[in-house]
């Protein structure tokens, strides 16, 4: 039974448009048991009335929900009048939110997010549609907004949604925000973030490189330091380990060669690897110098990882797509190339299980 039908309907519409173009028909398992994409049928129904193997699996075991797939500036990007974004202005269903993920444990109803993007408000609606918070009889959530927020770094797409926790907005109470030392000090020393700390809207919690944080007895999250521009903070990716499966989330890195770790080995250690796919190729920025914003292009990454066996390549799903990236067109030539080489692209609204097989 749906407790709040009007709200559920609008949330479902949000998820449906977010997942549009990626999800034909009922829940589709895109790589065996590791990945599920929310079905259109599911999205138009009430979450509380769902039955079926995929949703049952998602309910019992922890899972990751993809909240957005775009680079920091979103899609469309502000003031872009070129074809890449003009097409989206005419078709809002193709819009994509800034890259971020949620971790959900249905057993405990706990919810965490990695990165707090400028699209935080809409992403919370998306999360609520998939994993609704417990409500009291007056229609207020009877659990914390979130059990925690993990931050990768201090570029605009990854932390500025924190402002929604302040007194002008939700006026949140002591939301745990996990950050590395420089990131923490950046938030403590600079307004408006400092005010969130002083007013107790957030509670900063330390992260240390390679040191796992236990979210509960079933899930742990480990920060991995990566080379990035690092003007205001260090940059990390996260490995998320559930009771049966694990996911690597690494939306920003300068170049694989500058990382002390081997990306091939990191892919082998997990079941799904969400990797920096900012640019598809090296000629996307028009007149701008690509060296100013170094990332491994999707083509470079595919070349480097081409020696991996097919089962390893199938774990890779590119995310954090710049507005110029042709992979934003799910039916385009670039998407066919990526799939043809055995890789994938993350979809907004996609659910990835962290539990054991058939759990
Ligand atoms: Zn970014
Ligand atoms: Zn554009
Ligand atoms: Zn960045």
Residues 6+ apart with CB under 8 A from 53: none
Question: How far does residue 220's CA lie from ligand 3's centre (Å)?
Answer: 24
Quick one: pLDDT at residue 45?
30
Question: How far does residue 43's CA lie from ligand 3's centre (Å)?
Answer: 32
Question: pLDDT tens, 16-38?
Answer: 333 333 333 223 333 333 344 44
Question: How far does residue 325's CA lie from ligand 2's centre (Å)?
Answer: 9
Question: How far does residue 322's CA lie from ligand 1's centre (Å)?
Answer: 9
Quick one: pLDDT at residue 287?
66
- Does the residue 259 lie in any domain? yes
Which ligand is closest in space to the CA of residue 88? 2
Quick one: pLDDT at residue 141?
80
Which ligand is closest in space to the CA of residue 228? 3
Question: pLDDT tens, 238-291?
Answer: 999 999 999 999 999 999 999 999 999 999 999 999 999 999 998 887 767 766
Which ligand is closest in space to the CA of residue 234? 3
- Does the residue 324 lie in any domain? yes
Question: How far does residue 237's CA lie from ligand 3's centre (Å)?
Answer: 11
Question: How far does residue 158's CA lie from ligand 1's centre (Å)?
Answer: 6
Quick one: pLDDT at residue 142?
84
Percentages of the chain per state (helix, strand, coil), in multiples of 5? 30, 20, 45
User: Closest by alpha carbon to 337, among 277, 266, 290?
Assistant: 277
Residues 6+ apart with CB under 8 A from 269: 239, 246, 248
Question: How far does residue 277's CA lie from ligand 3's centre (Å)?
Answer: 12
Rg from Cα positions in the chain: 19
Quick one: pLDDT at residue 134?
83
Question: How far does residue 278's CA lie from ligand 2's centre (Å)?
Answer: 13
Long-range contacts of 92-95 (CB under 8 A, 24+ apart): 92/17, 93/17, 93/20, 93/21, 94/20, 94/21, 94/328, 95/17
Which ligand is closest in space to the CA of residue 86? 2
Question: How far does residue 280's CA lie from ligand 2's centre (Å)?
Answer: 14
Whichever domain contains 267, its CATH number is 3.60.15.10
Alpha carbons 115 and 198: distance in angstroms, whole number: 21
> How far, CA to CA in Å, does 108 sit from each of 4, 147, 355?
21, 11, 14
Look up the domain containing 206 and give its range. 5-353
- Does the residue 223 lie in any domain? yes
Structural tokens at position 10: 């609008």
Quick one: pLDDT at residue 47?
30
- Does the residue 358 lie in any domain? no
- Does the residue 192 lie in any domain? yes
Question: pLDDT tens, 162-213?
Answer: 999 999 999 999 999 999 999 999 999 999 999 999 999 999 999 999 999 9
Question: pLDDT tens, 81-106?
Answer: 999 999 898 898 999 999 999 999 99
Question: pLDDT tens, 329-345?
Answer: 999 999 999 999 999 99
| Cβ neighbours around 264 below 10 Å, total | 13
Question: How far does residue 153's CA lie from ligand 1's centre (Å)?
Answer: 8
Q: Within its chain, how far is the Cα of 158 from the centroid?
A: 10
Quick one: pLDDT at residue 139?
82
What is the DSSP-derived secondary structure letter of residue 228?
-
Which ligand is closest in space to the CA of residue 227? 3
Question: How far does residue 276's CA lie from ligand 3's centre (Å)?
Answer: 10
Quick one: pLDDT at residue 41?
31
Question: How far does residue 228's CA lie from ligand 3's centre (Å)?
Answer: 7
- Does the residue 235 lie in any domain? yes
- At 135, the pLDDT band (50, 70, 90 cuts) reads confident
Question: Across the strands, what pairs with 344?
Answer: 317
Q: Where are the beta strands (DSSP E) in the chain?
A: 28-33, 35-37, 63-68, 100-105, 110-114, 148-150, 175-179, 202-206, 213-214, 220-225, 236-241, 246-250, 272-276, 316-319, 344-345, 350-353
User: Closest by alpha carbon to 297, among 334, 262, 333, 260?
Assistant: 334
Question: How far does residue 314's CA lie from ligand 3's centre (Å)?
Answer: 25
Question: How far does residue 177's CA lie from ligand 3's centre (Å)?
Answer: 18
Domains of the chain: total: 1
Which ligand is closest in space to the CA of residue 73? 1
Question: pLDDT tens, 42-66?
Answer: 333 333 233 334 454 445 899 999 9
Q: Please state, rounded to an integer, the average pLDDT across all residues of the chain.
A: 85
Question: pLDDT tens, 210-239?
Answer: 999 999 999 999 999 999 999 999 999 999
- Does the residue 110 lie in any domain? yes
Which ligand is closest in space to the CA of residue 85? 2
Which ligand is closest in space to the CA of residue 323? 2
- Does the residue 359 lie in any domain? no
């Amino acid at each position: 039974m749906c407790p709040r039908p009007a709200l559920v309907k609008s949330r479902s519409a949000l998820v449906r448009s977010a997942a549009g173009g990626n999800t034909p028909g009922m829940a589709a398992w895109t790589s065996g048991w590791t990945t599920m994409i929310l079905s259109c049928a599911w999205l138009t129904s009430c979450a509380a009335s769902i039955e079926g193997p995929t949703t049952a699996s998602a309910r019992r075991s922890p899972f990751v929900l993809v909240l957005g797939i775009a680079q920091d500036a979103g899609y469309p990007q502000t003031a872009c009048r070129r074809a890449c974004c003009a097409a989206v202005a005419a078709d809002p269903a193709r819009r994509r939110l800034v890259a971020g993920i949620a971790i959900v444990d249905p057993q405990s109803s706990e919810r965490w997010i990695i990165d707090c993007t400028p699209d935080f408000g809409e992403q919370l609606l998306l999360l609520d549609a998939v994993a609704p918070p417990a409500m009291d009889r007056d229609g207020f959530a009877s659990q914390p907004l979130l059990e925690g927020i993990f931050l990768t770094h201090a570029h605009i797409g990854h932390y500025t949604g924190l402002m929604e926790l302040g007194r002008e907005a939700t006026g949140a109470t002591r939301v745990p925000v996990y950050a590395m030392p420089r990131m923490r000090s950046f938030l403590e020393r600079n307004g408006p973030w400092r005010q969130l700390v002083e007013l107790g809207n957030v509670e900063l919690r330390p992260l240390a490189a390679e040191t796992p944080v236990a979210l509960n007895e079933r899930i742990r999250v480990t920060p991995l330091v990566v080379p990035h521009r690092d003007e205001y903070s260090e940059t990390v990716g996260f490995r998320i380990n559930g009771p049966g499966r694990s996911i690597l989330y690494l939306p920003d890195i300068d170049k694989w060669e500058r990382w002390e770790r081997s990306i091939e080995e990191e892919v082998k250690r997990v079941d799904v690897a969400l990797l920096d796919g900012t640019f598809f190729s090296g000629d996307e920025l028009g007149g701008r110098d690509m060296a100013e914003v170094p990332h491994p292009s999707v083509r470079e990454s595919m070349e480097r990882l081409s020696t991996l066996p097919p089962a390893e390549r199938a774990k890779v799903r590119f995310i954090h797509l710049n507005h110029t990236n042709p992979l934003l067109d799910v039916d385009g030539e670039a998407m066919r190339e990526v799939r043809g080489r055995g890789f994938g692209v993350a979809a907004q609204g996609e659910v990835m299980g962290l539990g054991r097989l058939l759990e």
